[in-house]
A and B are shown apart, each in its own frame.
Chain A
Amino acid sequence: MALIETANLTKDYGTVKALDRLDLQVDPGIIGLVGANGAGKSTLIKILLGLVPATSGRASVLGMDVASDTENIRKVVGYMPEHDCLPLDVGATEFVTHMARISGLPRTAARERTAEVLRHVGLYEERYRQIGGYSTGMKQRVKLAQALAHDPKLLLLDEPTNGLDPTGRDEMLDLIKRTGTDFGISVVVASHLLGEIEQVCDFLLAVDAGHLLRAAPVSDFTRRTPTLAVEVEEGAEKLAAVLTGKGIGVRQDGNCVLVALEGTAPYDAVRDAIAELALPLVRIEQERHRLEDLFRDAAPARGAR
């Protein structure tokens, strides 16, 4: 069963089209939802949670329609919002227990789950203290705990690393990774930080201006490109000239010469040219795609529209 499915999903806020005929079909796993601010990430999450109705089109979560089956979806979905959402004058244990009960767990079960989940997110003795006295990192853990408290099948995380220092970020990303792999809960991580997505997700949805830019496994985005990067300390111009003379397509980028790879011929040509010119070579490496390229390539397209 598909985790998330949308067809022709459109959300029109009057002046802005937050989502424009979005078609998605996503399987369970750890899914990254990337896009610039205002690309429609939060709107998509809100529609999936049934918080805002779609203008047109339909969407379903775990096979349940978001418009007609909202309550059943919410029973099995956990949500961690981007902004602060914690009362400061209660303890983490009490708060998470309360949220578990609101999600439909009976009292005893809610208590047990709370104790377990707080342990999983790494809150121990401090869980009885008032949340107001917690650090940002601890608060983020409580936010994650309340989303996990009712053992959801799908976790929607909106910018989960907001405001965290590098260590806190790594720990949070690690927790998300564990949630997806060890706990077997599907996770959708909305973020504008591509590095994080690359680190934890195995599938990527890129949205831009309400459109789906691309949906593919993360490895597809980061696979090798048919380009060989040859970096030299000096003489990049000479190298480029020699290679062009041999009929090989090259492009120069600072001290780097990017060689189009067609067969194995360029390797030999590059080796010979460098030896011939006696250039100080730094590295020869086949280039990989980076997630950033996705948006760099997309930018002109958006401007043209």
Chain B
Amino acid sequence: MNVASPAAASSADGSIYDLGYRHYEGKRHGGWFAIWSLFTEGLRSVWGFGRPMTAKGWPFALAGIYAFPAFLQLALSSVFAQSMSEGNKIELIAYRDYFGMMWLLAMVFCIAQGPELVCRDQRSHVLSLYFTRPLNHAGYAFARVAALATALFITLMVPMIALFIGDVLMKPDTLRAIGDELPRLLPAVPANAVIALGMASISLGLAAFSPRRAYSTIGLVAYFLLMEAVPAFIYAAGQHAGWTWAALTSLLTPITTLTGAGDWFFGAPLSADFPSTMSADQYVAAALTSIAVFAGLLLLRYRSLSA
């Protein structure tokens, strides 16, 4: 490989002309464009696009399993649609219950893909290149959280759409069915957005603390399990001991908090799964606090990495 002369370069390239070096005179965007570029790259790499086939396995499998019950219902609805009469509606799964039922898959999605997104950049030291571009540590953190949250949001919304289509198909008057169903689907959009943002911020806020993917994954598993088990234990103990404050510990549980916050958008009182003393408002406040705390952690981490 010889790069000594332009002539050698062009002959190795197989082209006749060597145009020489040409300067770029076009437009140069600034910081927001850099964030957008990083966001799109992040979204692609969460799904494993532009990378080997093996990188696509986990995200697609997890998102697929997450959506499976909804598609099952969709399939059933098309089978039963003919025999359904007006008002005789089978609703196996409601929009608002879906995450509460399938959260484990969403959690594994975060545990698997969160470290993928932030550890790779630290491990390969590509961060030192990013931070010398029109991109600062806050922009980087923002783009990464946005990418994972969007990927998760897509995962959460696919079954919602499937349920929607299924419910519409089951009714004879499609147009009227859409009019009936749409208001019931709409709260799922902000609800899943909050859940996605909450889980993405936890996942990245913790994963970013190690460049080693394995450690990040273990840390995330430990965090989710501990935060699930410890408050549940305190709550159970509190019910015997008569601690009135024990129900508040459920605000520490990420999944419970986010499910409760999501429920807020559907309006009606919380389901019986939650401690009776808690309100949806409290979960919304806890979810927003959690997002702020983990976003802050992430910013702190990247500020120290950028220096």
Residues of A within 8 A of B (CB): 49, 51-52, 71, 74-77, 79, 81, 83-90, 94, 98-99, 101-106, 109, 113, 116, 119-122, 124, 146, 150-151, 171, 174-175, 182-184
Q: What is the chain B residue whose CB lies nearest that of A147?
A: B129
With A81-B128, A87-B124, A174-B4 as contacts: A150 and B21 at CB distance below 8 Å: no
Q: Which of B24-32, B238-246, B280-288 contacts A (4 or more CB under 8 A)?
A: B24-32
CA distance A109 to B121 in the complex (A): 24
* CA–CA, A90 and B126, complex, Å: 12
Could you tell me if A109 and B26 are in contact, using CB atoms closer than 8 angstroms? yes
A163 to chain B, nearest CB (A): 15
A101 to B13, CA, bound (A): 25
Q: Does B89 contact A (CB under 8 A)?
A: no
Q: How far is the CA of A251 from the CA of B4 in the complex (A)?
A: 44
Contact of B41 with A98 in the complex, beta carbons under 8 Å? yes
Least CB distance from B279 to A in Å reads: 44
By the criterion CB–CB under 8 Å, are B26 and A105 in contact? Answer: yes
> How many residues of chain B have a CB within 8 Å of chain A?
43
Q: Are B24 and A105 in contact (CB under 8 A)?
A: yes
Number of A-B residue pairs, CB cutoff 8 Å, is 115
B23 at the interface (CB under 8 A from A): yes
Does A79 contact B33, Cβ atoms closer than 8 Å? no
Tell me the bound Cα distance from A294 to B244 in angstroms.
77
Question: B20 touching A182 by the CB < 8 A rule?
Answer: yes
Contacts of B20 on A, CB cut-off 8 Å?
A: 182
Closest 9 CB pairs of A and B: A122-B3, A151-B24, A101-B37, A104-B29, A183-B21, A104-B28, A87-B124, A79-B132, A85-B125
> B51 and A89: CB pair below 8 A?
yes
Q: Is the CB of B37 within 8 A of A98?
A: yes
Contact of B24 among A51, A81, A113, A122 (CB under 8 A): A113
Min C-beta distance of B23 to chain A, whole Å: 5
User: Complex Cα distance A192/B2, Å?
Assistant: 26
Q: Can you list 26 pairs linking A and B with CB atoms under 8 Å apart?
A: A49-B132, A51-B306, A71-B31, A74-B134, A75-B134, A79-B129, A81-B125, A81-B128, A81-B129, A86-B126, A87-B120, A87-B121, A89-B51, A101-B34, A101-B37, A103-B34, A104-B28, A104-B134, A109-B27, A116-B22, A122-B1, A122-B9, A150-B24, A150-B28, A182-B20, A184-B23
